Structure 1
Amino acid sequence: MNYRRLGRSGLQVSELSIGSWVTYGSQIDRGLARESLAAARDAGVNFFDNAEGYAGGKSEEIMGEALKELAWPRVSYVVSTKFFWGLSEGPNQYHTLNRKYLLNAIDGSLKRMQLDYIDLVFCHRPDPNTPVEETVWAMSDMISRGKALYWGTSEWSADEIRAAWAIAERHHLHKPVMEQPQYNLFHRRRVEDEYRRLYEDIGLGLTTWSPLASGLLTGKYRDGVPADSRAQLKGYDWLRAALTDADKNAIVARLADLAAQLGCTVGQLAIAWILKNPHVSTVITGASHVAQIKENMLALDVAQKITPEIKAQIEAIVGDAYN
């Protein structure tokens, strides 16, 4: 495992990391979570991603219990959570980044995860109804109070990130240091184009999610939707159309042929392609069982095979079939 700095910060995170979206609380319980975290740790993973809203808070509880049982030294791993969606409907309780919500939300996450502090906290989406300055002050105060170490954003526009950074700079507050965007072979423009200036200007780091496009880049949707896939889970019906897109599955088939020539799976090839982007601090992978984690970790070896020539072949196969 290699480790990369989180943007311009001094924090080092493993190139591949583990996320709990969809799986924790929906597909795996505490026992399986403990086994998967242990397998990832054995592979050198030190970053584990979560969010308040995943499985209505259950994901944080499961990860917290698993980490408690594993009893690793706290300094040896990095944990994140994200705020915006909330856990219950009502004023100042969901779909907001106001000060009242944020400073209550961090306390709830700390309790569910049974931790004294959370390493990385993200504003899970932008909030058009709260002044950015209010959000920046609240996130900075969260760090000043020792409840979090670094803060950042998720799926914010470049202009919104720059505005938050400028406010923090002007008031000598803790600045946002990372963004968590979706990034894969079919979803690229924000990372490669929109954020381009931010890497150099403010030292933005990326903890990217959905490297396999919700499973599309594994190839398992080429013949329809498997019974055990996430697209069959309650509340994930919206994924089915994208996962069964005929044109994209044809591209996946061609990528699979290239992967076979390299002696890997198409999923490993897709993850390895992301690892070649120097602006990505860590690629968040998901898994519902230990075997998937071990398979994903092999992408580290595949990345060594992504020469400029192979990268050009990948680009030619995908063409402009991305947003």
Structure 2
Amino acid sequence: MYRQAGTSGLFTYPLALGTMQFGWTADEATSFAILDRYVEAGGNFIDTADIYSNWAAGNPGGVAERVVGRWLAANPGVRERVLISTKVRGPMGEEGRRGRGSPYQEEGLGRGWILRAVEASLERLNTDWIDIYWMHWVDNRVPVEESLAAMTELVQKGLVRYVGVSNFSAWRTMQALWAADRRGLVAPVALQPHYSIADPVRAHFERELARVAETYGLGVFPYSPLAGGFLTGKYRPDAPAPESVRAEGIRRRFFSEKNWRILAALEEVAAAHGATPAQVALAWLLSRPYVAAPIVGANTPEQLAGLLPAAELELAPEEVARLDEVSDWERWRTELEV
């Protein structure tokens, strides 16, 4: 069941567990229960970030990492059975501001910030190493060679096992791969893009970045694989969206004729398997040869339990072809132009 992440030595459960909700929309006790449920099912890839969730009032960042760290401390022996990935790039609220006056950047992908940030993440996570350390998004102020040199130092020290890039375009990913090859530095082995069957910017990934992943053996870990909840089927074309800021954002981003047809096709395939549209949307991603594991999040153990069957749901070739056809962005672009 476990899938190789590209051509790396990483093998992951087909669904990775995202932790953005931890300490934000899921309290610590609930977060522990979600983690327990995931590992009980065989899950082994836990994804977090240092900045989670510093956009929420009173949250300085580092909160999700601390929740994961306390869960690891409460479960001796589990660290050897799971992969932990976290990210570096963004400012850290009060945690970051404590260092004001430092000659180094207070965020970004410069060597000074990376070396400082990794030590803080390791402490919060209560671990001696990070399995994938993601560069969260591009830093235009710093040469990628400096970032990769810092990452190489962390790998050589045993603090990081592998390096990944998140929210990088195809040319930026190639720039990192070329720099690593030219300078003898550690190269990224994984990508974390925004990617789902209904993503309005899906073409940005499939047009070039997917080919980079296939050609250079990079494992892909899509985030927001359920389009913010749109692909769960709780939104209907003949019913108003719930009244909330989140629902309004989903309405603006995903309510379209194309996406209603995609949702209908997901429901059709789901009915044939006794599954849910969300499970089929995840299984569709897993049918892509370059995808290692979509990153799913949950606010409750019950929500997670409703997604886990996707790990074993295998779609027939004709079902994948049907979903490919109805969601084909090239076809829809042509129809819109006509």
Common topology (TM > 0.5): yes
Match of 2:26 among 19, 25, 28: 28
1:50-69 deviation per Cα after TM superposition (whole angstroms, max 9, x unaligned): 00111121111111111211
Aligned alpha-carbon RMSD (Å): 2.1
1:293 aligned onto 2:292: no
Say which SS state the counterpart of residue 62 (structure 2) adopts: helix
CA distance in 2, matches of 1:52, 1:14: 23
Match of 1:206 among 220, 227, 232: 220
Aligned residues: 312
| Structure 2 portions without partners, runs of 5+ | 54-60, 334-338
- 1:231 corresponding residue in structure 2: 246
| Contact 1:215–1:243 (CA under 8 A) maintained in structure 2 | no
- 1:280 corresponding residue in structure 2: 291
Specify the code of the residue in structure 1 equivalent to 2:317: P
* 1:245–1:59 Cα change, 3 Å: farther
Match of 1:270 among 256, 268, 281: 281
* 1:77–1:319 Cα change, 3 Å: same
Deviation of 1:73 after TM superposition, in Å, equals: 3.6
1:171-221 deviation per Cα after TM superposition (whole angstroms, max 9, x unaligned): 222111111011210233244321244234422111111110110101112
1:313 aligned onto 2:318: no
CA distance in 2, matches of 1:109, 1:18: 18
- 1:62 corresponding residue in structure 2: 67
Q: How does 1:74-153 map to 2 (within 5 A)?
A: 74-88=79-93, 92-94=105-107, 96-153=108-165
Specify the code of the residue in structure 2 equivalent to 1:60: E
Percent of aligned pairs sharing the same letter:
33
- 1:49 corresponding residue in structure 2: 47
1:91-129 deviation per Cα after TM superposition (whole angstroms, max 9, x unaligned): 7113x2111111111111111111111111000001111
Specify the code of the residue in structure 1 equivalent to 2:90: W
1:259 aligned onto 2:270: yes
Deviation of 1:261 after TM superposition, in Å, equals: 3.0
| Contact 2:262–2:323 (CA under 8 A) maintained in structure 1 | no
* 1:84–1:240 Cα change, 3 Å: farther
| Contact 1:40–1:293 (CA under 8 A) maintained in structure 2 | yes
Say which SS state the counterpart of residue 81 (structure 1) adopts: strand
Q: TM-score, normalised by structure 1?
A: 0.89
* 1:210–1:126 Cα change, 3 Å: same
Specify the code of the residue in structure 2 equivalent to 1:219: G
Q: How does 1:9-20 map to 2 (within 5 A)?
A: 9-20=8-19
Specify the code of the residue in structure 1 equivalent to 2:44: N
* 1:150–1:217 Cα change, 3 Å: same
Say which SS state the counterpart of residue 298 (structure 1) adopts: helix
CA distance in 2, matches of 1:319, 1:9: 30
Say which SS state the counterpart of residue 122 (structure 1) adopts: strand
Deviation of 1:294 after TM superposition, in Å, equals: 1.4
Q: After the TM superposition, which parts of structure 1 deviate over 4 Å for at least 4 consecutive aligned residues?
A: 237-240, 243-247
| Contact 1:16–1:282 (CA under 8 A) maintained in structure 2 | yes
Deviation of 1:318 after TM superposition, in Å, equals: 2.7
